[in-house]
Structure 1
Amino acid sequence: MKFQSILLFICLMITLIQALPLQERSIFSGDGTFYTVGLGSCGKTNTDSELVVALSSSLMAKGKYCGKKIKITTPTGTVTATVVDTCPSCSPSSVDLSPAAFKKIGKVAAGRISIKWSFL
């Protein structure tokens, strides 16, 4: 009986993962930058002190990512942030972060850092 439960759980997890759009199962490598946060394309006003991000126009056009969480990693740290805006100048694999989120994974003086990120 225990084996059947484990097998059922594994099948359920595979089904759930396959149901996600491909981009939500991917790990992206790109650049991290930061911007002055305000009224975002998701319709809410946020502040520089919040852990929020803007994704590329191409990603924001393909799905409804407003409110989704992403995990961003660099050699110096990891941060989880919420998607609240669109970054028109970002490539699909890059992310524009609030100053607070950027400071958790890099030095502001750098301005641009290499990142890896994925949807949670």
Structure 2
Amino acid sequence: MMLTNGGSACAAPPSTTTKTGKATFYDLAGTSGNCSFEVPADDLYVALGPSQYSEGASCGAYLDVTGPKGKVRVKVFDSCPECPAGHLDLSRTAFKKIGDEIDGIIPIKYKLVTNPSTPAPISVRIKEGASQYWFAARIDNHANLLSSVKVASGGGGFKTAHRTDFNYWLIDAGAGPGPYKIKITDVYGNTATLTGIRMSPGTVQRTGVRITGGSTTVTSKTTAPTPTAKATTSPAAKKPAAATPSPSVPSADPLLESASGLPDALSPSEVASGQPLVDLAAAEPGASDC
């Protein structure tokens, strides 16, 4: 996946063409990944090199990776500064599913997954230090690559957030005191509006919404959640997803749990203006090793 800017390169959603490359593995050693996610419960994740990590635009996507021993699905979780395009640095657990650990490096084929299933509905985490004057939120379990996040406080209008390379969406001037409506859109035009999100830094607010399927707008109506113990997370220093129509997702109240650890879908005019897209097909593997 490579971030491309401008021209006809942005005229289509990310490619799902199968590519060839190589895989290694690594251990987090007590840190978190640059995408600021909690470690997946199945321990299946991947770190991508700079061109494919695309300054965080790939975070939360899923790749199917095939190696000598079989296939595994991994979540984009981290960055690998030294990895060229086509070199995937897998979790040790993921690597062992498709190759022999003793080999250390194996040939692979991989591709971006569209509309993958997620282990839970969409969640929102407000970052420590956020307030009505500085808004920062991480979105998880969105399945496909996100194109935009917009935030409204109370009865106010939506403000567009910008994404950081550590996968938080920021509004530098703040979005007000909340509670918030957060409208997220993926690169296929699927949208979800999450309501009742509170300014509760350091906690994960879970909803009952899944944003996968064919350009279907779904809304989660939420009520005030009850927080539990908080923990902090920070970006790690180690290492700097074809649509089919689906019914609306039933609404559900958000839950809070302790946490450790490209604007709306592109319209033709936005495509013409050069909105960036993450393009897996552009990521031809390099011949050199890390």
Q: CA deviation at 1:45?
A: 4.1
Deviation digits for residues 88-119 of structure 1 (CA, Å, limit 9, x no counterpart): 11111110000110010001110000001010
For residue 105 of structure 1, the aligned residue among 78, 98, 110 is 98
SS in 2 for 1:67: coil
Aligned partners of 1:26, 1:69: CA distance in 2, in Å?
14
Q: Which has the larger radius of gyration?
A: 2
For residue 88 of structure 2, the aligned residue among 79, 95, 110 is 95
For residue 64 of structure 1, the aligned residue among 49, 52, 57 is 57
- Match of 2:37? 44
- Match of 1:115? 108
For residue 74 of structure 1, the aligned residue among 67, 87, 104 is 67
Tell me which protein shows more helix as a share of its residues: 1
Which structure 1 residue ranges, 4+ long, deviate > 6 Å from structure 2?
Answer: none
Distance 1:107 1:49, change over 3 A: farther
Q: CA deviation at 1:32?
A: 0.3
Deviation digits for residues 75-95 of structure 1 (CA, Å, limit 9, x no counterpart): 320000100000111111110
Amino acid of the residue matched to residue 69 of structure 1?
Answer: Y
SS in 2 for 1:25: coil
Q: Does the CA contact (< 8 Å) of 2:80 and 2:89 recur in 1?
A: yes
* Bigger relative CO (Cα 8 Å, ≥ 6 apart): 1
Q: CA deviation at 1:60?
A: 1.3
Aligned partners of 1:106, 1:48: CA distance in 2, in Å?
21
- Give TM-score, length-normalised by structure 2: 0.33
Aligned partners of 1:97, 1:60: CA distance in 2, in Å?
14
Q: Does the CA contact (< 8 Å) of 1:36 and 1:48 recur in 2?
A: no
Give unmatched runs, 5+ long, in structure 2: 1-10, 114-290
Cα RMSD for the two superposed structures: 2.0
Distance 1:112 1:48, change over 3 A: farther
Q: Does the CA contact (< 8 Å) of 2:67 and 2:98 recur in 1?
A: yes
- Give TM-score, length-normalised by structure 1: 0.75
Count of aligned pairs = 101
